[in-house]
Structure 1
Amino acid sequence: MQAKSNALPYWLCTPGALITLAFVALPLVVTLSLSFFPFVAGGATGDHLTLANFIDIGSDDYFYTIFLRTFGMALVVTAICIAIGVPEAYVLSRLSPQWRAISIVIVLGPLLVSVVVRTLGWAVLLGNEGVINKMLLAAGLINEPIKMMFTFTGVVIALVHVLVPLMVLAVWASLQKLDASTEQAAESLGAGLFTVLRRIVFPQVIPGVLSGGLIVFSLAASAFATPAIIGGRRLKVVPTTIYDEFLGNLNWPLGAALSVILLFIVLAVSVGVNRLVERRYRQVFQ
């Protein structure tokens, strides 16, 4: 006799599924559909479907520059977060429970403050009359202020500060599953610290590095507040361009098309890197 299926788990999942559908899936579908309508002067949209918005984006070098800048910035931020976050997470995993709790609070400190407040703090630090330039001038290390506001470097610095805690958390979670006996065995065989880290520790935390890198890359590519405040009007990226098209030019279809392209590129990169690293990871440990 076939057992009767229990529908309770499905009913329990229904509220969450409906909320996801209403606040995530439905807006994405509306944005996708809006991208296929033409723009009419005055902020209106046409009543027929067209690929004109995507053709305009693909045929304009201006948009190529913006997309290259956006994803180049995201790659640089991700690489720096990995370089900072992996050693920091390893140190955290080796601290005593008391110092680890204090250190985690310090690491998570930036996440407890609004991204706008953090970015405005960096604007105060990076300005020509900011704290950093004043300290360097007072120390005699520079003769004139270093331009850091409205530059690529300034945006990268602010984004790294915002996103590096996410990398630390992802790698630290992987380190919790690390078998300490493998490190002790390598050390007993004469392996040095860097050899242990390179041959034993890092290969086992690749999943954490991958997940953290994908999170950082996605958030850096789609960041709006930090590039808008630190980069200003001189350093355009895709999210600020989308904002200008929606609220500045009232060209909602073009803004929707840019949003769709940004979403699909981020998803494609995330899925591609995930499969590539997982394939190599399985080959190494099989």
Structure 2
Amino acid sequence: MKSKATPWWLSGPALLLFAALLVVPLALTAVLSFNVYDPATGPKAGEFTLAHYAQVFTDSYYHGIFWRTFWISALVTLICVLVGAPEAYVLSRMRNPWRSVLLLVVLAPLLVSVVVRAFGWSMLLGPEGAVNGLLRLVGIGPVKMLYTETAVIVALVHVMLPFMVIPVWTSLQKLDAGVENAALSLRASPFTTLRRIVLPQVMPGILSGSLIVFGLAASSFAIPGLLGGRRLKMVATVVYDEYLSELNWPLGAAVALTLLVANLIVMLSYNRLVEGRYKKALG
């Protein structure tokens, strides 16, 4: 007879690994964020303060950075939904070998380092890049795109799009094409079929893809660091500066944990909102 402790013994190694790689570092970072910081000697272990969190929540400099981070992440998520969901729908309706070819095209960016892709976009969007070269051909002067929010958004969409396409495509695999045909045979319009049959079925994929894209975009470092420059900062680049430039580790930890909590609040709220509408649509 199986003991009640058997599941715990079987999952014990995974739980220990999870605690060692995630819980313990987060706990240490949380403790560090409350340490007193002395510019001459660094963090003081055993001395605690709330000054770092007070600075993050009251300083307009950090307010602006958090606002920029979240609106860029939200816009990137919206663009990925608008582009990735139709792309996944087309992918699900294709037959081999074209389905495999398009799937490879979608996944190909994941095979290249994000740093390499960022440098590639910097070359394309630079003053002498291919994009400005095309604009000159049509009579438009060079446009400043590098080190702007536009460059960051374009590159983030390119990096994050596969994380939207794959969950939506997976959800579409569970949809029977005969249900759509039945709706069309009953004189439902293609738009009505898409809205009443297809969309409710792919909502779990859109939800999971949106959460993944938003979370990764909000915590992205390489793209904002390389394409945003030193003036266009996002939260991850501020954490990097506090740790390695200012050497103010407690403040950097406070900013990082604030981003984590804000991310969780936004993602859980979005999850509840979309799931509520999804259940209402199915009901």
Is TM more than 0.5 here? yes
Aligned to 1:223: 220
Taking every aligned residue pair, what percent have the same amino acid on both sides? 52
Contact kept? 1:242, 1:258, Cα under 8 Å: yes
Aligned to 1:152: 149
In 2, Cα distance between equivalents of 1:102 and 1:240? 36
> Which one of the candidate residues 186, 191, 208 is aligned to 1:211?
208
The residue correspondences of 1:43-58 to structure 2 (distance < 5 A) are 44-46=42-44, 47-58=46-57
Amino acid at match of 2:271: N
In 1, Cα distance between equivalents of 2:124 and 2:220? 20
Amino acid at match of 2:179: T
In 1, Cα distance between equivalents of 2:57 and 2:262? 14
Contact kept? 1:70, 1:238, Cα under 8 Å: yes
Aligned to 1:17: 15
Aligned residue for 1:260, secondary structure, equals: helix
Amino acid at match of 2:274: V
Moved more, 106-115 or 182-191: 182-191
Aligned to 1:140: 138
Residues 43, 259 of structure 1: alpha-carbon distance in 2 compared, 3 angstrom cutoff: farther
- Measure how far apart 1:140 and its partner are: 2.2
TM-score by length of 1: 0.95
Measured against aligned partners, the alpha-carbon deviations of 1:210-237 in whole angstroms (never above 9, x if no partner) come to: 0000000000000000000000112011
- Measure how far apart 1:195 and its partner are: 2.7
- Measure how far apart 1:281 and its partner are: 1.6
Aligned residue for 1:38, secondary structure, equals: strand
Is 1:187 the counterpart of 2:164 in the alignment? no
Contact kept? 2:76, 2:214, Cα under 8 Å: yes
In 1, Cα distance between equivalents of 2:41 and 2:142? 43
In 2, Cα distance between equivalents of 1:95 and 1:168? 14
Moved more, 37-46 or 73-82: 37-46
Residues 43, 285 of structure 1: alpha-carbon distance in 2 compared, 3 angstrom cutoff: farther
Aligned residues: 282
Contact kept? 1:210, 1:274, Cα under 8 Å: yes
> Which one of the candidate residues 224, 229, 235 is aligned to 1:238?
235
In 2, Cα distance between equivalents of 1:36 and 1:162? 34
Amino acid at match of 1:241: V
> Which one of the candidate residues 246, 249, 259 is aligned to 2:246?
249
CA RMSD of aligned residues (A): 1.3
Aligned residue for 1:148, secondary structure, equals: coil
In 2, Cα distance between equivalents of 1:72 and 1:43? 37
Aligned residue for 2:238, secondary structure, equals: helix
Measured against aligned partners, the alpha-carbon deviations of 1:152-200 in whole angstroms (never above 9, x if no partner) come to: 0100000000000110001001101112222112211223333322222
In 2, Cα distance between equivalents of 1:92 and 1:14? 40
In 2, Cα distance between equivalents of 1:239 and 1:76? 18
Unaligned residue ranges in structure 2 (runs of 5+) = none
In 2, Cα distance between equivalents of 1:269 and 1:215? 12
Aligned residue for 2:128, secondary structure, equals: coil
Aligned to 1:33: 31
Unaligned residue ranges in structure 1 (runs of 5+) = none
Aligned to 2:258: 261
Contact kept? 2:200, 2:282, Cα under 8 Å: no
